[in-house]
Amino acid sequence: MSACSSLDRAAAIAHSASKCSRAPGAAGRPTPCRRQALQRSRPTPQRTHASSSVSETAATPTFEQLYMQLAGVLAAPGSTVAAAATPLGRGLVATQPIEKGTTLLSVDYFNMLCITDEPAKGNVLGRRALEDWQLLHGRLPPLLNRYLLGDEGDWFVRLAAWLLWLKRNAAGPWRLYVDILPKESEMSCLMNYTEDELAELQSPLLESRARLERQQIAGLHDRLFSSTTGELRALQLADRLEDMLWAACMVNSRCFSDTVDGETVSLMVPCADMANHVLAPNAAYQFVPEADAFQLTALQDIPTGTEACISYGGTHKDNEALMRDYGFVIPGNVNDRVPFSAGDDVASRLAAAAAGGSGLLERPSLSAPRLLAALGLAPAAGAARFDLTKAAEAAMGDGEEHARTRRLLATLMSLQPFLRDIPGPGSGSGGSGSGGSPAAAAAAGPPPLTEQELQRERQSAAALAAQCAAALARMPTTAEADEALLAGAEGPLGPRRGAAVAARLESKRLIAAAQAALEAYGASLS
């Protein structure tokens, strides 16, 4: 997660993560006074209400109780959200009516894992946060301290090292934090899929991406983290690849990023990292320099019991990238594409022949204005062309209706290599040759086609629709079967199988939407 765009580990490893800048903060070295104040406020889990009630009952604490215990120590007083089971998994839910603009949760800089991405460019906040973290939570081994402050490893590996060290050594609230985090077996990022589980994805592309991800993490393990072979072996961080996979997917899927006083930092923020993602969030997050804290803020009124969700950014990510980084997909992802071919496949030829041609179809070609009109995607009043970007922005809600619109838009973008007569922005032609204004040309519609042109148009639509049908037929299960699985027809699926079925179902829904759109267009040409 990041404040502007989602962190991309691969990009970070290549030292090219792009992040946004924020207002300058009041970062500086801790004064003796602040050190004393920090020491006075050293967290003690016993002082929280939740922890005493847990020990009194002696029953195994629930996840919600553990969260309260953690928040009681690491979050600032006054949170208006708490962890609970939600339709998206575990998430943050309003415990009281929340007004737009108020803070839901605040975590001080010394109660989070904060490192500077590029220490060579300035390491003020990163250094201060690490120093004060140790004043409060205990000293780290000098080797780890040096590694976290230096630039030998990028932000991703440094956070993973810190997390692994905590997993092995932490007590108090950080033990609680690590214990509350999902286990490796519960994660569904692509790197977490074992060879035996890959077939569930039903996508050669996702399978090869997953193998690559796992190989990269295995390489990091051997080179850096392995307790026997790694450069950091003195720290005894990871005995098994699974330890490394756990840390890597925790950092991948839960790390925030922000820029404070020109310094870009990566943050693991307890409690705040329980917030789930939606396209139309009711909460936002940022490191607030004036408060020296990371805060979640309400973007609208949130009623009691409603889940507070943020956007992880990454509006440019397709579902493959979301599966890679977070282990879930977005229904109707406008960045997804149907892999249409140039029409020289058997399905295309048969369909073209059936649509009245010779079967020796040239590359399919579709009239953009006609296709848009048939799909009900008209330009806005007075505009020369249908604005796809605006249409996508208007369909960023979380309901199924918006998801359907986004699939249609993703279909159009997938068809772009086959579209002709596309009016350019502000172009005068509008494809009509009418000689009037672009808007008037658009309103007049495309000129009539000859019978031969109509037949070619029908053949093209049929060929491309047939590619969709063939792609769906190649997949081992139908959308209906996947839906039944997700509805529990075979009992609980488990996190990885569940995420894989959701991902392959979404892929089928997009292809089916493309097929339906092309068939509707073909029918409109009679």
Ligand X SMILES: C[S@@+](CC[C@H](N)C(=O)[O-])C[C@H]1O[C@@H](n2cnc3c(N)ncnc32)[C@H](O)[C@@H]1O
DSSP state of 221: I
> Among residue numbers 443 through 482, which ones bind ligand X (CB under 6 A)?
none
Task: Please list, in sequence order, all residues whose beta carbon lies within 8 angstroms of the beta carbon of residue 523, skipping any fewer than 6 positions away.
Answer: none
* Rounded distance between C-alpha atoms, residue 341 and residue 339, angstroms: 6
State which of residues 276, 405, 414, 460 lies at the interface with ligand X (CB under 6 A).
276
Smallest gap from Cβ 427 to ligand X, in A, equals 39
- 324 touches ligand X by CB under 6 A: no
Which range of residues in 7-15, 233-241, 322-330, 413-421 is near ligand X by CB under 6 A?
A: 322-330
- 326 touches ligand X by CB under 6 A: yes
User: Of 132 and 482, which CB lies nearer to ligand X in the complex structure?
Assistant: 482
Q: Which residue from 121, 133, 456 is spatially nearest to 259, judged by alpha carbons?
A: 121
Q: Phi first, then psi: give them for residue 42, nearest 5 degrees.
A: -55, 125
Smallest gap from Cβ 343 to ligand X, in A, equals 36
User: Of 277 and 349, which CB lies nearer to ligand X in the complex structure?
Assistant: 277
- 498 touches ligand X by CB under 6 A: no
DSSP state of 268: E
* Rounded distance between C-alpha atoms, residue 394 and residue 345, angstroms: 36
- 305 touches ligand X by CB under 6 A: no
SS3 sequence, 97-114? CECCCCEEEEEEHHHCEE
Q: Which residue from 319, 317, 348 is spatially nearest to 461, judged by alpha carbons?
A: 348
Q: How far apart are the first and last CA of the chain?
A: 49
Assess contact for 44 and 58: CB atoms under 8 A.
no
The three-class DSSP label of residue 149 is: helix
Return the structure tokens found at 94. 């309003």
* Rounded distance between C-alpha atoms, residue 148 and residue 266, angstroms: 12
Which range of residues in 26-34, 98-106, 269-277, 286-294 is near ligand X by CB under 6 A?
A: 269-277
**Type of residue numbered 518:** L
State which of residues 327, 332, 357, 430 lies at the interface with ligand X (CB under 6 A).
327
Radius of gyration of the chain (CA): 27
CA angle 328, 101, 401 (to 5 degrees): 40
* Rounded distance between C-alpha atoms, residue 363 and residue 505, angstroms: 29
Smallest gap from Cβ 332 to ligand X, in A, equals 13
State which of residues 24, 28, 89, 141 lies at the interface with ligand X (CB under 6 A).
89
* Rounded distance between C-alpha atoms, residue 507 and residue 331, angstroms: 9
State which of residues 80, 253, 348, 432 lies at the interface with ligand X (CB under 6 A).
253
Smallest gap from Cβ 502 to ligand X, in A, equals 8
Return the structure tokens found at 476. 């081992």
State which of residues 8, 273, 292, 307 lies at the interface with ligand X (CB under 6 A).
273
Q: What's the Cα-to-Cα distance from 208 to each of 84, 107, 202, 212, 355, rounded to whole Å?
A: 35, 39, 11, 6, 37
- 254 touches ligand X by CB under 6 A: yes
* Rounded distance between C-alpha atoms, residue 117 and residue 264, angstroms: 6
- 182 touches ligand X by CB under 6 A: yes
User: Of 246 and 326, which CB lies nearer to ligand X in the complex structure?
Assistant: 326
Return the residue matching tokens 């009992």: 491
User: Of 277 and 456, which CB lies nearer to ligand X in the complex structure?
Assistant: 277
Burial of 9 (0-12, 13-18, 19+ CB in 10 A): buried
Q: How crowded is the C-beta side of 281, counted as CA atoms within 13 Å? A: 19
Q: What is the H or E stretch that residue 42 is in?
A: none
User: Of 83 and 144, which CB lies nearer to ligand X in the complex structure?
Assistant: 83
User: Of 17 and 278, which CB lies nearer to ligand X in the complex structure?
Assistant: 278
- 328 touches ligand X by CB under 6 A: yes
- 399 touches ligand X by CB under 6 A: no
Beta strand 103-108 pairing with 263-268: unpaired
User: Of 277 and 317, which CB lies nearer to ligand X in the complex structure?
Assistant: 277
State which of residues 14, 26, 88, 234 lies at the interface with ligand X (CB under 6 A).
88
Smallest gap from Cβ 187 to ligand X, in A, equals 7
The three-class DSSP label of residue 396 is: coil
Which range of residues in 66-74, 85-93, 445-453, 466-474 is near ligand X by CB under 6 A?
A: 85-93
State which of residues 25, 45, 91, 431 lies at the interface with ligand X (CB under 6 A).
91
- 274 touches ligand X by CB under 6 A: yes
User: Of 320 and 457, which CB lies nearer to ligand X in the complex structure?
Assistant: 320
Smallest gap from Cβ 483 to ligand X, in A, equals 17
User: Of 5 and 414, which CB lies nearer to ligand X in the complex structure?
Assistant: 5
* Rounded distance between C-alpha atoms, residue 329 and residue 309, angstroms: 16
User: Of 327 and 364, which CB lies nearer to ligand X in the complex structure?
Assistant: 327
State which of residues 127, 277, 324, 406 lies at the interface with ligand X (CB under 6 A).
277
Smallest gap from Cβ 324 to ligand X, in A, equals 11
Which range of residues in 10-18, 200-208, 274-282, 515-523 is near ligand X by CB under 6 A?
A: 274-282
Which range of residues in 44-52, 88-96, 152-160, 516-524 is near ligand X by CB under 6 A?
A: 88-96
Which range of residues in 100-108, 156-164, 223-231, 325-333 is near ligand X by CB under 6 A?
A: 325-333
* Rounded distance between C-alpha atoms, residue 189 and residue 207, angstroms: 12
Assess contact for 104 and 80: CB atoms under 8 A.
yes
- 331 touches ligand X by CB under 6 A: no
Return the structure tokens found at 48. 């929280």
Report how many residues bind ligand X under the rule CB under 6 A.
16
- 497 touches ligand X by CB under 6 A: no
Which range of residues in 201-209, 271-279, 444-452, 481-489 is near ligand X by CB under 6 A?
A: 271-279
**Residues at the interface with ligand X (CB under 6 A):** 88-91, 182, 253-254, 273-278, 326-328
